[in-house]
Amino acid sequence: MNQVLVLGAGQLARMMALAGAPLNINVIAYDVVNSNVVHPLTQQYQSLSLIEAIAAADVITAEFEHIPTDILSLCVASGKFKPHSDAIKAGGDRRIEKVLLDHANVANAPYYIINTRADLETAITTLGLPMVLKSALGGYDGKGQWRLKTHDQIESVWREMALCIAASDNQAIVAEKWIDFDREVSLIGVRNAIGEVKTYALSENVHTDGVLSLSTVIVGDPTQQRQAQLMFAAVAEQLNYIGVLALEFFEVNGELLVNEIAPRVHNSGHWTQQGAETCQFENHLRAVCNLPLGGTELIRSSAMLNILGQDSVPQTVLALEHCHVHWYGKEKQAGRKMGHINICAATPEQLQYQLMLLGQLLPAQDFPTLPR
């Protein structure tokens, strides 16, 4: 029996717990918001302090990268934390992430770090407009971002950015050149302590209002798959990474640029629960517990649809063939990630047909990315 403590008690910790059970891996979670050790499925408080949970754990890992530094340091000091804290820091600070990508020699959007109004002027001269501005710390799901399109927006955007910089210690803004991408794709992979790497099939990701909506596995593009794998290996190697790592890319004229990395299991890898030999959650646990990695082969065409702000779907969805609903046990809240639907088929064409059937069962206003 392995005891794994996960920092963060959301759906990713929950799905790790579900995937770990068959391997006798017991997952408990630390809710960083309320400072409580909880059961990742029931959210029930465990009568354990964080210090006791750290002592009881064989391995400590994380479901998100915005971990308060004092908590991360405590966990690292125990010698049980995986991946290395450098990876968490790179995922949580866009300045560190950019340096990492440059060092790993992988293509990414040109950027400039902004601390002052004068820096913003230099960024505009260097990168041109339009540009994307992202807070260095704390951004997720498109939050903490601005789009600067024309010169007359500079004043109002700077006012907001200055407030953001002043609001927290060590905050800055990373300006990025606007990338006119053809599509967004991501690669999920896993690396173990002895440097073995396995990657899943690429998926194409469609966002609505900055939040992932639909991920569809890409089949039949071995050149792009290979390109993504090489970039993945370079980044994972640079970090001496242990566990599941996600790379988000922009595709421009068939070439990939890394947008960002996530040092953890990732929303665009949820399809692996039904579409891959071993799901990302199990493989993360295998890697951090020093067990052999599981196969990452695609077993059928698959897609994942996020359920945002809804706590039910018609039973006809459950009745669809090769369709699986995963709820997160959360209280309903507008826009909140409440669950996801994995849907599979024997071929990509049949998968598109399945997605169209799903589109007939789910309202367009809540699921705008389904084909109809």
The site that binds Mg ion (CB under 5 A) totals a number of residues, namely 1
* CA dist., res. 144 & res. 160, Å (int): 10
**Concatenated DSSP letters of 176-194:** EE----SEEEEEEEEE-TT
Q: What is the number of helices (H) and of strands (E) in the chain?
A: 12, 17
Q: Is 29:61 a contact under the CB 8 Å cutoff?
A: no
Q: For tokens 């997605």, name the residue.
A: 355
At closest approach, how far in Å is the CB of 66 from ligand ATP? 10
H-type helices in 93-188, by residue range?
94-103, 117-127, 154-167
Of 248 and 282, the one with the shorter C-beta distance to Mg ion is 248
In the window 204-243, what residues touch ligand ATP (CB under 6 A)? 207, 210
45 binds ligand ATP (CB under 6 A): no
Q: Can residue 368 be called a binding residue for ligand ATP (CB under 6 A)?
A: no
- The residue count for binding ligand ATP (CB under 6 A) is 17
258/323 with CB nearer Mg ion: 258
CA distance linking residue 312 with residue 328, whole number of Å: 12
Nearer to ligand ATP, 251 or 282 (CB): 251
184 binds ligand ATP (CB under 6 A): yes
311 is in an annotated binding site: no
Write the CB contacts of 77 (distance below 8 Å, at least 6 apart in sequence). none
What is the four-CA torsion angle of 179, 140, 192, 35, rounded to 10 degrees?
Answer: 170
Q: 217 with 231: CB under 8 angstroms? A: no
On whether 158 is known to bind a ligand per the annotation, the reply is no
The CA-CA-CA angle for residues 156, 132, 91, to 5°, reads 120
Alpha-carbon gap, residue 350 to 119, rounded angstroms: 51
Give which of Mg ion, ligand ATP, none residue 176 binds (C-beta under 5 to 8 Å, depending on kind).
Answer: ligand ATP
Q: Is 327 in the site for ligand ATP (CB under 6 A)?
A: no
Cα 143 from Cα 94, distance rounded (Å): 13
Tokens for 322, please give them: 């090769």
- Applying the rule CB under 6 A, the residues between 239 and 298 that interact with ligand ATP are 248, 259-260
132 touches ligand ATP (CB under 6 A): yes
Q: What residue 358 binds from Mg ion, ligand ATP, none (CB within 5 to 8 A, per partner kind)?
A: none
Distances (CA, A) of 55 to 51, 61, 70, 291: 6, 14, 16, 21
Q: Is 329 in the site for ligand ATP (CB under 6 A)?
A: no
Q: Which is nearer to ligand ATP, 12 or 109 (CB)?
A: 109
Residue 120 interacting with ligand ATP (CB under 6 A): no
- Is 179 annotated as ligand-binding? yes
Min dist. Cβ of residue 93 to ligand ATP (A): 12
Q: Is residue 79 a known part of a binding site?
A: no
Among Mg ion, ligand ATP, none, what does residue 329 contact (CB within 5–8 Å per kind)? Answer: none
Q: Which of residues 204-263 bind Mg ion (CB under 5 A)?
A: 248
- Count CB neighbours of 99 within 10 A: 12
User: Is residue 109 involved in binding ligand ATP (CB under 6 A)?
Assistant: yes
Q: Is 94 labelled as part of a ligand binding site?
A: yes
**43 φ, ψ (degrees, to nearest 5):** 65, 10
* Nearest to Mg ion of 97, 248 (CB atom): 248
In angstroms, give the least distance from the CB of 139 to Mg ion: 9
Listed residue (16, 8, 2) closest to 269, CA to CA = 16
d(CA 277, CA 263): 22
For residue 324, the surrounding DSSP H or E stretch is strand 323-327
Asked if 141 is part of the footprint of ligand ATP (rule: CB under 6 A), the reply reads: yes
Query: Is residue 295 a known part of a binding site?
Result: no
335 is in an annotated binding site: no
By a kind-dependent CB cut-off of 5 to 8 A, residue 178 interacts, out of ligand ATP, Mg ion, none, with ligand ATP
Q: Measured from the CB atom, is 178 or 327 closer to ligand ATP? A: 178
Spatial distance between the Cα atoms of 333 and 339, rounded to a whole number of angstroms: 12
Q: Which of 303, 302, 278, 272 is nearest to 291 (CA)?
A: 278
Instruction: Pick the binder of ligand ATP from 23, 178, 352, 359 (CB under 6 A).
Output: 178
**Residue closer to ligand ATP (CB basis): 134 or 198:** 134
Which residues of the shown chain bind ligand ATP in the complex (CB under 6 A)? 109, 132, 134, 139-143, 176, 178-179, 184, 207, 210, 248, 259-260
Q: Binding-site residues for ATP, please?
A: 94, 134, 139-145, 176-179, 184, 207, 259-260
